[in-house]
Amino acid sequence: MAFSALIRTLERSQLSAELLSKLQQQGMLHLSGLPRLPKGLVASALAQGSQQHLVVVTATVE
């Protein structure tokens, strides 16, 4: 399954609907405790579901 198909599937899930509702109420959402890949997929699905741009800032481990 391609990442775009996975993100579309996540976007249509009940979890995404609940997270989008929480995001709209609070204005921010912390996805702490998730590994990087699932966190990125959820963030991408939420951005696509809300039709917003997604900016990701990470620290490098060097």
Q: Does a structural domain hold residue 62?
A: no
- Structural domains of the chain, count: 1
pLDDT by residue (tens digit) across 29-40?
Answer: 888 888 888 888
The answer to whether 46 and 29 have CB atoms below 8 angstroms apart is yes
Question: How confident is the model over 46-56, as a mean pLDDT?
Answer: 88
pLDDT at 1: 62
Domain limits for position 23: 3-49
Question: How does residue 59 score in pLDDT terms, banded at 50, 70 and 90?
Answer: confident
Q: Does a structural domain hold residue 25?
A: yes
Q: Does a structural domain hold residue 23?
A: yes
Q: Does a structural domain hold residue 58?
A: no
Residue ranges in 1-35 assigned as alpha helix (H):
3-11, 14-26
Question: How confident is the model over 46-61, as a mean pLDDT?
Answer: 85
Catalogue the long-range contacts made by 27-32 (C-beta closer than 8 Å, 24 or more residues apart).
Answer: none
Please state at what angle helix 14-26 crosses helix 3-11, rounded to 10 degrees: 70
Q: Does a structural domain hold residue 18?
A: yes
pLDDT at 13: 92
Q: Which two tokens stand for residue 7?
A: 């993100």
Q: Does residue 26 carry a pLDDT above 70? A: yes
